[in-house]
Structure 1
Amino acid sequence: MVRRSDLVMPPREWDDQAGRWQVTQWGDIHLAKAAPEIGAEWAEWIDSGRRSEERGLKHREDGEGRTVPLSPELAVLLHEHFDRFGTAPGGLLFVAERGGRIGSSTYGRVWALAREAVFTPDVVASPLAKRPYDLRHACVSTWLNLSVEAPRVAEWAGHSLNVLIRVYAKCLDGGEERARQLVQAGFDAA
């Protein structure tokens, strides 16, 4: 449900030396609505009868949203997306070929193909990034492992601290070694 109006896009500049656009500042994504997809067997329980219905964010009052940082790298990709595809009526960034929402089965198939294209067979067989939603877990865990303070990460993710620590505070590969280096650096400075 992300619309162009939900984005505070940082400016881009042409880099003559690299021959491409670059963005050096951060922007923001303001999330205010969601349209979760439900199974066909539950569609009768939604007023519209459709498999998704726009609503406010979970555990928030109507109209209460949250802001998530938009990295320079993502800003470059979004600028390229606008150049190539524009936006759909109503400002939606991503729509299906015939309009409307992109179904989870569609992006699930594309995701599976992308995993096979870039991962080794052993990694493809593993649970690593098995679903697009797993990127949320990886992102939140990465923020925590980079020492972004937990209350800020919880705010960006839209969770309580309790949920953040219980569900998302996973260790990434190499985390043990990095933790030991941090502790050693603290001892060495003392």
Structure 2
Amino acid sequence: MAAVVGEGTFHLSDRQCFAILDWAGEQPQSGLVLRAFLASIALAALSPEGALALRVREVELAEDGAGWLLVHSQAQERREKDSEHAGAVRRVPVCRDLAAILKEETIRRGLGPDDATFVLDDGRPLTAEVYRKVWRQARAAVLQTHELDSSLGRHLSALRDARIAAWLKNGDQTAAHILAVAECVGMSAPRLTERFADCLHMPTRDEIPWDRLEAALALPALPSQPTSAVRRQ
């Protein structure tokens, strides 16, 4: 089941995301490339523009099977009103599943450090026109009829949103955790909490530790008598 996040907005479930990746990988033309491209969005929360700009040298794979992506903030982040991130490079964690997919693609196609990570098998660039068409086809193949009539997964960015929601829901939701997620996805923390408010636990009035807050904000007790006389001039 998809989780409702905000009025009229839904997130794809893990099952739906992985079904879309599987569908892409089964396509006879550039299926493995398309799966890798979609996986970078679904598992590392890259924007489509950020994924297209990724070069092989910017994929750092560790010996334990995980790694990092060096991602240059792209147009989507700027549209999300985080202009302070524009042009910045951020390190995004790579899970073992994504690391294996990216390593497999690099070896399969004999890519060099300066090569684009995602290029179609015939050598043509993977463009927005191509991946949007694939996304529409994958959505139609995977989702049920009543889901196709809704806003669920209408745009490819739904894969990114689903991963961000999962990162937020599966953490301790402390300020440090939220800041770490915001840094990974290239958004400011206020913008992140605004867009994904329903993924965060909002304490009720009874859950707020009012006594500790009051103690922390209280002024120090003033002495009843001055400690020293003030000499009048």
- What TM-score, normalized to structure 1? 0.63
Are 2:28 and 1:28 aligned?
A: no
| 1:79-94 to 2 correspondences below 5 Å | 79-87=103-111, 90-94=114-118
Which amino acid in structure 2 is aligned with residue 10 of structure 1? A
User: Deviation of residue 155 (structure 1)?
Assistant: 0.8
Q: Give me the whole-angstrom Cα distance separating, in 1, the residues matched to 2:62 and 2:197.
A: 30
Match of 2:84 in 1: 59
User: Which residue among 148, 155, 158 is the counterpart of 2:183?
Assistant: 155
Runs of 4+ in 1 over 6 A off after TM superposition: none
Pick closer, same or farther for the CA change 1:3–1:169 going to 2, 3 Å. Answer: farther
Q: Report how many residues are paired.
A: 142
Unaligned runs of 5+ in 1: 12-23, 38-56, 184-190
User: Deviation of residue 108 (structure 1)?
Assistant: 0.8
User: Deviation of residue 33 (structure 1)?
Assistant: 5.7
User: Which residue among 145, 150, 162 is the counterpart of 1:138?
Assistant: 162
3-state secondary structure, aligned to 1:8: strand
Deviations 1:75-124 (A, max 9, x none): 11112212322337832111246656422121011111112222222222
Structure 2 contact 57–114 (Cα < 8 Å) conserved: no
Q: Give me the whole-angstrom Cα distance separating, in 2, the residues matched to 1:61 and 1:171.
A: 26
Structure 1 contact 87–94 (Cα < 8 Å) conserved: no
User: Which residue among 100, 125, 129 is the counterpart of 2:149?
Assistant: 125
User: Which residue among 93, 101, 113 is the counterpart of 1:77?
Assistant: 101
Q: Give me the whole-angstrom Cα distance separating, in 2, the residues matched to 1:111 and 1:138.
A: 15
Which amino acid in structure 1 is aligned with residue 93 of structure 2? P
3-state secondary structure, aligned to 1:91: coil
Deviations 1:52-74 (A, max 9, x none): xxxxx953475x31011111011
Q: Give me the whole-angstrom Cα distance separating, in 2, the residues matched to 1:109 and 1:99.
A: 18
Match of 2:56 in 1: 4
RMSD over equivalenced CA pairs, Å: 3.1
Match of 1:166 in 2: 194
3-state secondary structure, aligned to 1:31: strand
| 1:36-51 to 2 correspondences below 5 Å | 36=75
Which amino acid in structure 1 is aligned with residue 185 of structure 2? A
Larger Rg: 2
Q: Give me the whole-angstrom Cα distance separating, in 2, the residues matched to 1:168 and 1:93.
A: 30
User: Deviation of residue 25 (structure 1)?
Assistant: 3.5
Identity of aligned residues (%): 27
Structure showing greater relative contact order (alpha-carbon pairs closer than 8 Å, 6 or more residues apart): 2
